[in-house]
Structure 1
Amino acid sequence: MLDQRSTAILTQLVNATSYLPVKVLTERFNVSRRTIYNDLEKINNWLKEQGLSPVQQVRSAGLIIDNETKIIIPKKIKKLEPWHYEYSAKERKSWLAIHLLGRDTELYLDNLMDLIRVSRNTTIEDLKVLKEELVKFQLKLEFDRKSGYTIIGDERSKRKAIVYYLSLALPDQTWQSLVSAFQLLITSNKEAETTLFNVEQLKAIYAIISESEKILQIHFADDVLHSLSLRFLLFAKRISKGKIVDIEPVEKEVLIETKEYKVAQFVCEKLTNIFKVAFPEDEILYLTTHLLSAKIQYSEVALSDTSNFQDLAGIISAMVDDFQKYACVLFQNRDLLEKNLFMHIKPAFYRIKYELEIENEIAESIKEKYTEIFLLTKKIIHHLERFINKPVHDNEIAFIAMHFGGWMKREGTTPAVRRKALIVCASGLGTSQMLKQQLEGLFSTIDIVGVASIREFESKDYDVDFVISTTQVAKDDQPVFIVNPILTEAEKESLLKKVNSLFQTSQENKSIEGLMDLIKRHADIFDESSLMKELKLFLNKASVQKVTVKKPNLANLITEEMIQLVEHVPNWQEAIKLASVPLLERNWITNNYVEAMIGNIEKLGPYIVISPQFAIPHAKPEDGVNRLGMSLLRVKNAVPFSANSKHDVNIIVILAAIDSETHLKALTQLTNMLSQSTVMDKLIASNSKEEILKLVASR
């Protein structure tokens, strides 16, 4: 039986123009290789039942389906019988909600069992889960012998639930494959299909919304265009039953002034012709909120033309200011960054304001892979929260973080390749945590994703590159390194060499072979294999030493020789020069870098004062940074960085960053430390470097 993901994978393979690597699928669907292979088994079983050729795998290239089979599959999917498709638990829950919110007739347990095609007990369990989840929408699931199962609550809450459950139920595919899947997924009950959904109506609504894009001079994201089509279809059906939303008078005044309101009038006029029902003014305004909140792929409207959103543009500018402060970067094409952010944050503003929550699994991936950038974005999101007067969900924060992260890469930063490792330990939590701390200090580009017992490791699948264990364990598809719970220096060096050798690239192997050829031309080699081994170990050691300086802790950077304590400085320029001395003396920065820091402040103002009494001057790496470093100056009598007393500073930390990524871990620790007023007071009152080092070490 196929399910949502295996159907989506099959669609990807059909649309692929050449071999599709398994790695691409694991990243696209955010699942493990083992999960992809399980789905491929389902796909091949289904293809066999249909009399079609299976998916072929070529070791060095990837997966492929022959062209003849590619032509037949879309027709087969379109005609797929309901019993060939298996709903996931998430899909079952979502379709139950959608059917109950769109029902025209009474729905009892037997009806719901037929709709989601599972047993009585499974349907009852799914209804329990749904009932608990509906509470967050202020809705109740109730049962009555006469009317069956119904969802009780106000109309606006029901509409929010429709938006949310559609985002969970629908596969992320092209429009044509979505329509095919939609015809399959709706129901095996043809009578229910005609009362709940109508595919021809859906296609007509899709065309209407596509036409509205031209009026707005925008392109909606593909998944949003699909979702809007289904939302408007369900909303229209509810309106035809007299289920109307109410819009607050204050909201009406704002919404009527938008271009989207004019487009909503156009859309509702077209929908009236399809459904033969008049759309009240409040419903036109309600559809306006959905057009405003829809994600945009492209806009022909420049930021300067959005005169109605100057306040929001100011909020975005403040967010960029703070991001630059906290990340210690200066975006070279800031105007374009703000324009792109505006295109994303404007619809996000309406999604948050009108509580149109949409589930999207990519957010978790962003939080996991780009932790520092996500945390930095979370640190600046208070500007938007104050503007909307509502908290911003992590899903929205993650998408904003994705914009910042993409821009940092555009500025020339290429993050180091990161690997994932699992610790397997039979000696309990204390021992495993101790080993984890040692390994995190040893590897800077490897993420320890978790700790497992032997039983957990043997019974579960883990999406990791390798395993470090305190006892003998084995899995065919994962390298395992056996270590002692307390690592000696020799064991650390040995483990570094082994891990580095594991991920040595083919280019590095070619370099060693080339070096061997060079040696042969000028010397006699008595033991070629031993020399090759020694060269690999030597070159790996050099590479490892370079890797271990990545993303150091705050305590690695602010050491005793990097701290200065003075009573007074004449002005902020002299304060920066004095604070830079430890870095200059070691040639970690040049005098040009000091002048660049001062020049930035003269040009941009005291943007480096990121909290009361604390400043972190910095410039671009290319302005004169030779090595990553930080130096700290404590000035007993505060030095003013402007005429405003809020810019009086006692603690100055010079940051010399080599790129936009490596310093983020230490910087996050520093800003967290100095955000506590008690810590700041202790720093200012410190009479020795030792006192400051203790505060730094406690982070």
Structure 2
Amino acid sequence: MLTERQQKILKILHGQEKYITIRQIAEQIHFSPKTVRNDLLQVRTFLQQNQLGELTAKPKKGFRLLMTAEEWDKLQSLLRFSARDIPKEKRKYAVCALLLQDRAVGMAELEKKLYLSRSGAEKALEEARQWLEERGICLQKKRGRGFLTECSELVRRMTAAELFVLYRSESGIGTDQGFLTNVSRFLNGFDASGVLSSTANTEEEYGFHFAYNARQTLLFLISFALFRCRAKAPLAECPLKNRPAFSQRVTAALVQQLEHSYSVRIPPAEREYLLFCVSACEIQEFEDTKALQMCEQEEPQTLATVQRFVRLTSDLLGLDLRADSALEKDLFLYLRSAVEKLRYGIYIPNPLLAQVKGEYPNVYAVVWTTSVLLGDSLQVELTENEVGYLTVYVVGAVERASAQVKICILCSYGVGVSQLLKQQIERLLPNISVIRIATVQEPDCVRRSGCDFVITAENIGDTFGGKDVVVVDNFLIPYDIRKIQKKMFEVLQRKMEHITKNTDLQQIRLFDSRFVYFCDHAEKTALLQTMCGDLEEKGYVLPGFNESVLQREKAASTQVGRRIAIPHGSTRYVVRPIIAVAVLKNSIPWDRQDTADFVFLLAIQPDSLLHMKPQMMKFYKVLSALIDDEKTLNEVKKMTDRQEFADYMNHLTQ
């Protein structure tokens, strides 16, 4: 980026219709002709790099700026984002942006571009070094040159994409112009308009739209790849191969568009890299149903895993989500891209995670439990970030499925009052379906209606027509809403219990006193190793289970709320299903943010004889009881007898 003095020189040149000499410029800005000469060379280089006009020179006449009005406006937009405007907390990102361009950066350059003193630049550099090292990038000081980054080209690009999101200006986010300005600022003037148009044309050709945030990342990764190619630093080879056929066709079309837009030939390794970028970019929506079906047919394993996941989640929640085509489609589109990133160690933070855990602990616990199935089937380690996103999709499906809660309204004050009550309920509780309005003389009609419960303003007892009754005011006050919502929850719980009674759950005892641990103090890794070692010694798991548990802990936090953690290992090492439990008198650190004092170590076996579903349902009943009822949780923590504890846990599963 140009200095303030160089920007003043540009303005002087822009205001001249004829040539102007170096001495004339020097007199206007009050610097020596030598300084102006050096500045003009840097200005010319900057304009050439950004393809903005031309700085011409003639002997004895001086210099003249040839630039169209459109090019001048673009130049002003680029210069508007000077480092002087960078907030203090983002200065380390500005340093990282310079370093990731894979060139030596000296302290003098940092001071000049960040408008900092030597001590301020050193502080920003140290913060940048720490941020880069956390992502596997080393910072080396080369004598006489400055600082250089050392990492693989792939790591450089993925880190740059993460940095772009953090460093970009809030101005214009959400618009194409805002994106173009931010890329130009980040990549030293690179024009990404061809990337935008090429991607849009490809989306239109294949009848889909990338999700907004994923699309922004994809656009930047493509831009950075082209920027690196121009800098003669393309990928020598790309280890990311064997992508699905649908993604291959989309990428081939995109590459053709890019080559035409930028008049370049994209090398094979860069094509493979772009194929990975497209595969890892989440598709939000297909406009063309045939294109979606083609995509699903070419990725049958992901689709089959999603369908199994939906069936198991439905049974655990007591809601039939299998008919929700939107859920299946959304999960498929999310997982196909998430798995690609996870396979290559690319972890995307989930800003909604804490809120999801806090507001939907039960659904989060179910999804975390069933993530064992997803991880084993797709051969990746799902982190809590992915579980959080999956929970959001399931919560949406639960909200839609809640419309299956059907009620009858009883009223003795005539049709008008009944209709008013119906309208109030449907407006305030849109997930309830009012299937009949009846009178107290029609118990048989209510019995045959198939409703889940009855709402009435009359005090007619606890049941009517064999259905539970909720008594409310004729005009539905807030207290009535809470009563109805509580009854809805009870209905869902009953459905779950009905499913439980119709399975072979009684045959499986998941808790054994030999694997119950009461500890005053413990250290996480040592505790897990002890629990896994005992399971292996008694023949419940095979060697390798302990390592799979610890690897999963490195990938994600298994704390699900209320200081409860549910670590689990790969199902392929499980011989017989069992759950070991540790109750800690004092909470221990479980990850960077969470602590735990109640640890369930899951060894779940998905074989055809015992079935994963009954095991999951039994465990979820225990987990749900502890999460929902703090009194029960506290009572369990007070137990000191192993056999009593195991018996109580098994009792909760019935």
TM-score, normalised to structure 2, is 0.51
1:597 to 485, 492, 498: 498
Between the aligned partners of 1:215 and 1:234, the Cα distance in structure 2 is: 24
The within-5 A match list for 1:143-292 is 143-170=141-168, 177=175, 179-180=177-178, 183=181, 196-198=187-189, 201-240=191-230, 241-248=232-239, 252=241, 254-255=242-243, 258-275=245-262, 277-292=264-279
Instruction: Report Cα offsets for 1:291-341 as digits up to 9, x if no partner.
Output: 111122211333575222111112212222332233332226234421221
Distance 1:359 1:649 in 2: 32
- Provide closer, same or farther for how the CA distance between residues 97 and 648 of structure 1 changes in structure 2, counting only shifts above 3 A: closer
User: Alpha carbons of 1:149 and 1:408: their partners in 2 closer, same or farther (altered >3 Å)?
Assistant: same
8 Å contact 1:612–1:646 — kept in the other structure? Answer: no
Identity of aligned residues (%): 14
The 1-side partners of 2:142 and 2:378 are apart by 40
Of 346, 360, 363, the match for 1:370: 360
Counterpart in the other structure of 1:403: 393
Q: Against the structure 1 CA distance between its residues 238 and 610, is the aligned structure 2 distance closer, same or farther, given a 3 Å change threshold?
A: farther
Q: Secondary structure at the match of 1:381?
A: helix
The amino acid of 1:340's aligned partner reads: D
The equivalent residue for 2:369 is: 379
Q: How many Å separate the matches in 2 of 1:354 and 1:650? A: 31
Q: Is the 8 A contact 1:614 1:649 kept in 2?
A: no
**Matched-pair contact (CA < 8 Å) for 2:209–2:284:** yes
Computed over aligned residues only, the root mean square deviation of the Cα atoms, in angstroms, reads 5.2
Query: Matched residues in 2 for 1:650 and 1:176: separation?
Result: 46
Deviations along 1:452-490, whole A, 9 cap, x unmatched? Answer: xxxxxxxxxxxxxxxxxxxxxxxxxxxxxxxxxxxxxxx
Q: Aligned pair in 2 of structure 1 residues 163, 330: CA closer, same or farther (>3 Å)? A: same
1:393 to 365, 383, 390: 383
Question: C-alpha offsets along residues 392-439 of structure 1, whole Å, 9 cap, x if unaligned?
Answer: 23322221111111111122379xxxxxxxxxxxxxxxxxxxxxxxxx
- Aligned-partner SS, 1:395: helix
SS at match of 1:210: helix
Partner of 1:112: 110
Shift in Å, 1:380? 1.8
Distance of 2:275 and 2:616 partners within structure 1 = 50
Q: How far has the Cα of 1:654 moved from its partner?
A: 13
Mark the CA change 1:172 to 1:390 in structure 2 (over 3 Å): closer, same or farther.
farther
CA 643–283 in structure 1, closer or farther in 2 if over 3 Å, else same:
closer
* Paired position in structure 2 for 1:525: none
Q: Counterpart in 1 of 2:320?
A: 330
1:99-124 Cα shifts (integer Å, max 9, x gaps)? 22225x53212323444444443432
Q: State the shift of 1:544 in Å.
A: 12
Matched letter for residue 627 of structure 2:
K
In 1, distance between residues paired with 2:497 and 2:122? 67
Cα pair distance change 1:680/1:364, threshold 3 Å: same
- Aligned partners of 2:91 and 2:645: how far apart in 1? 57
Question: Which residues of 2 match residues 489-638 of structure 1 at below 5 A?
Answer: 597=498, 606=503, 609=505, 612-613=508-509
* CA distance, structure 2, for counterparts of residue 311 and residue 78 of structure 1: 47
Distance change >3 Å, CA 679–CA 649, structure 1 → 2: farther
* Residues 679 and 116 of structure 1: CA distance in aligned 2, closer, same or farther (over 3 Å): farther
Aligned with 2:280 (options 286, 289, 293) = 293
User: Aligned AA for 1:235?
Assistant: A
Partners of 1:647 and 1:181 in 2: CA distance? 47
- Following the alignment from structure 1 to structure 2, what is the Cα–Cα distance between the partners of residues 119 and 280? 43
Show the counterpart of 1:317. 307
Gap change, CA 1:326 and 1:211, over 3 Å in 2: same
Partner Cα distance (1:362, 1:232) in 2: 27
CA distance in 2, matches of 1:116, 1:317: 53
Shift of 1:680: 10
Please state how far the C-alpha of 1:679 moved relative to its aligned partner.
Answer: 10
- 1:264 touches 1:288 (CA, 8 Å); kept in 2? yes
Give the AA of the match of 2:110.
L
Q: Distance in 2 between matches of 1:651 and 1:402?
A: 20
CA distance in 1, matches of 2:340, 2:144: 40
8 Å CA contact 2:214–2:282 kept in 1: the answer is: yes
For 1:147 and 1:374, the matched residues in 2 are separated by 51
- The letter of the residue matching 2:347 is E
Are the equivalent residues in 1 in contact too, given 2:111–2:117 (CA < 8 A)? Answer: yes
Change (3 A) 1:648 1:309: closer
So what's the TM-score if we normalise by structure 1?
0.48
Secondary structure of the corresponding residue to residue 402 of structure 2:
coil
Displacement of 1:681 after TM fit? Answer: 7.0
2:130 equivalent among 126, 129, 132: 132
May I ask how many residue pairs the two structures share in their alignment? 407
Confirm or deny: 8 A CA contact 2:313 2:367 kept in the other structure: yes
Instruction: Summarize the Cα distance change of 1:408–1:144 in structure 2 as closer, same or farther, 3 Å threshold.
Output: same
Distance in 2 (alpha carbons) for counterparts of 1:547 and 1:648? 30
Give unmatched runs, 5+ long, in structure 1. Answer: 1-74, 188-192, 415-506, 508-538, 553-587, 616-641, 687-691
Aligned-partner SS, 1:279:
coil
Distance of 1:380 and 1:106 partners within structure 2 = 48
Partner of 2:99: 100
Q: 1:545 to 1:396 in 2, by over 3 A?
A: closer
CA distance in 1, matches of 2:496, 2:258: 64
- Shift in Å, 1:265: 2.9
Q: 1:210–1:115: structure 2 CA closer, same or farther, 3 Å change rule?
A: farther
Change (3 A) 1:226 1:217: same
Structure 1 segment 619-698 matched on structure 2, within 5 A: 644=609, 665-666=627-628, 692=648
2:82 alignment counterpart:
82
Matched to 1:169, the amino acid is Y
Is 1:354 aligned with 2:344? yes
- The CA distance in 2 between the partners of 1:274 and 1:679, in whole Å, is 73
Distance in 2, matches of 1:330 and 1:167, equals 39
List runs of 5+ in structure 2 lacking aligned partners: 1-74, 405-427, 429-475, 512-606
1:225 deviation in Å?
A: 2.6
SS of 1:228 mapped into structure 2: helix
Secondary structure in 1 aligned to 2:285?
strand
Separation in 2, partners of 1:343, 1:333: 17
